[in-house]
Structure 1
Amino acid sequence: MNSRQDDLKQDLDAALQTRKELGKEYEAEIVDSFLTRLDARIDAQVDQRVADGLAQHGVGDGRRGGRGGWSSAGRLPVVSLVLAIPLTGIAAGANLTGMIVCWAGIVGVNVAAAVGARAEQRNARPGRSDWN
């Protein structure tokens, strides 16, 4: 038997001993408590197996913008273009210089985000440190 089965057997033995000590009046609570612990154990095993399967197939957890998710670096260009439309209208109302400054700011933010995302990816590689 492995350790998980030993732990489960010990939990079941403890529940049975508790039932013997407390009597039949507390049987429902004892069973509920045991089943709650069993459910938590099953959930943990399923979560671990799913995480292992995702890692085996190279799918991230979404925090770094894996295959299924949008990273912050992927959202920023879309958001900045959506915001660029009203900003351009406001800036063009002043003069051409205002519009150029507006677009220079939009481009600057996107370039900075792209450079930062690239540096983060480079540093996230295994065996990589800040000193390399």
Structure 2
Amino acid sequence: MDTRDADLKKELNATLQARRELGEEYDSALVDSFLEKVDQRLDGVVERRVRRQLAEQQMVVARGARSPQQSTDSWGERFGFGIVSLVLAIPLSAIGGGVAHLPGLLVAWAGIVGVNGAWAFRNSPGFGRRGKKSADSDWAE
């Protein structure tokens, strides 16, 4: 249990103790007071989260990298890469097949498939984010 949870637990215990001392006629005022404190806590957490996300986006823009919204390539980029790959495959196949016959053709196509596979993997959602988990909680800030 971190200190923020302990503070909230203390507030709840104090509210319950005040209810015991003051009686049921003050229930709504005590509940409203406690909920106001919870609302303030949530507002602080949301504000910190928004500030953190804005700072991360500014860092991405400052580094010249793509923003998370731009990380997925458009259909046109994928289609264009596929067309260029097939156009370049024709002379590569001719050269590989002409020089080393079947082994040369297989090497040329292995290279084409390898380049396309690497491009597809690099542009897949989540590339570079595997295993990255936030170690700190929003409540613990």
Common topology (TM > 0.5):
no
Structure exhibiting the larger radius of gyration computed from Cα positions: 2
- TM-score in terms of structure 1 length: 0.44
- The higher relative CO (CA closer than 8 Å, separation ≥ 6) is in 2
